[in-house]
Structure formats: C-alpha cells, structure tokens
Amino acid sequence: MNSDYSHNPLTEVALALSMAFFAIMVLTIFALSQKQFKSIESNKISINSKSSINKDKKDKKRTLVFYHNKNFYDQNLKVWRLENQDKPADRYTLAVPTKMSVKELFEIKKIFQGLDLQVTEQNQQWNEALENISIK
C-alpha cells in the first residue's frame, strides 16, 4: 500500500499529535473516574464512621493462645483446647514460636478454620515461660 502522503512530514506530525491527544484524553478520563470513586468512598466512611468505631470497640477483645511443643496454652500458661471452650470466641490471636515451619503453621490454621485468627510471634519472655512449663 503506497500513498502520496506516506512520506509527507506533516502527516507524521499530525499522527503524533493525534496520538498525544488520545493519550491525554485517556489519562484524564482515568483521573476523573478515580476522583469520583474516592468521593463516594469518603461519603461512606463519614456516614458509617460512628457505627464502625463502636463496633471496633466491642470486637477488640481477642482470645490470646500460645503454641508450644504441639500444645496450646492460654494466658495463664494452662493447657488450652478449642473444643473444651464453653463459649468459644470468634476472634483469636495465636502466638507461635519464631522457629516454626510453614507447614506446621498451616496445619494449625486448619484447626481454627472459619474463625478470625491473627498469627503473631512469641517474644523472648513468653518463649522462656513456655520452656519452663514444658520442663516441669
């Protein structure tokens, strides 16, 4: 396909300008649509902010559980079992040793399946206290 205008420099300039205009148009549309979504989200937050604060205050309480040597312990370092709980909580924080395999962690998470579980590392003091319990 050969045209009389294919080697004309003004044709090249016109094509470059049209591509630049199209790129600016697409970026403008994207920027305006993002601004609209942000304003909608901020309205939702301002409307529901009081109820979410009250809900967070009620639900902040989590049951702290420690894992050590294939056993679970409560905050008082007594053996803890999920199935033995009279009124099981929905929210748990599980403290695990720092040197734990990922496979073992996933096996533990299966036990708490369907519950709100946060996993954290045990600090040195808890590690020492749990070691003392396992020695006794």
Q: Tell me which of 56, 80, 100 is where a domain ends.
A: 56
130 and 70 assigned to the same domain = yes
- Asked which of 56, 72, 102 is the last residue of a domain, the reply is 56
User: Do residues 89 and 63 make contact, with C-beta atoms less than 8 angstroms apart?
Assistant: yes
**Co-location of 42 and 75 in the same domain:** no
Whether 130 and 72 map to the same domain: the answer is: yes
Q: End of a domain among 32, 56, 80? A: 56
Range of the domain at 27: 1-56
Total number of domains constituting the chain: 2
DSSP string, 97-135: -SS--HHHHHHHHHHTTTSEEEEEE--HHHHHHHHHHHH
The answer to whether residues 46 and 97 belong to one domain is: no
Give the pLDDT confidence of 18-76 residue by residue, as tens digits: 999 999 999 988 888 776 555 544 444 444 444 444 455 455 688 888 888 888 888 88
Rounded Cα distance between 127 and 130, Å, is 5
pLDDT score, position 23: 94
Q: Are residues 112 and 79 in the same domain?
A: yes
Per-residue pLDDT of 89-109, as tens digits, reads: 778 888 888 888 888 888 888
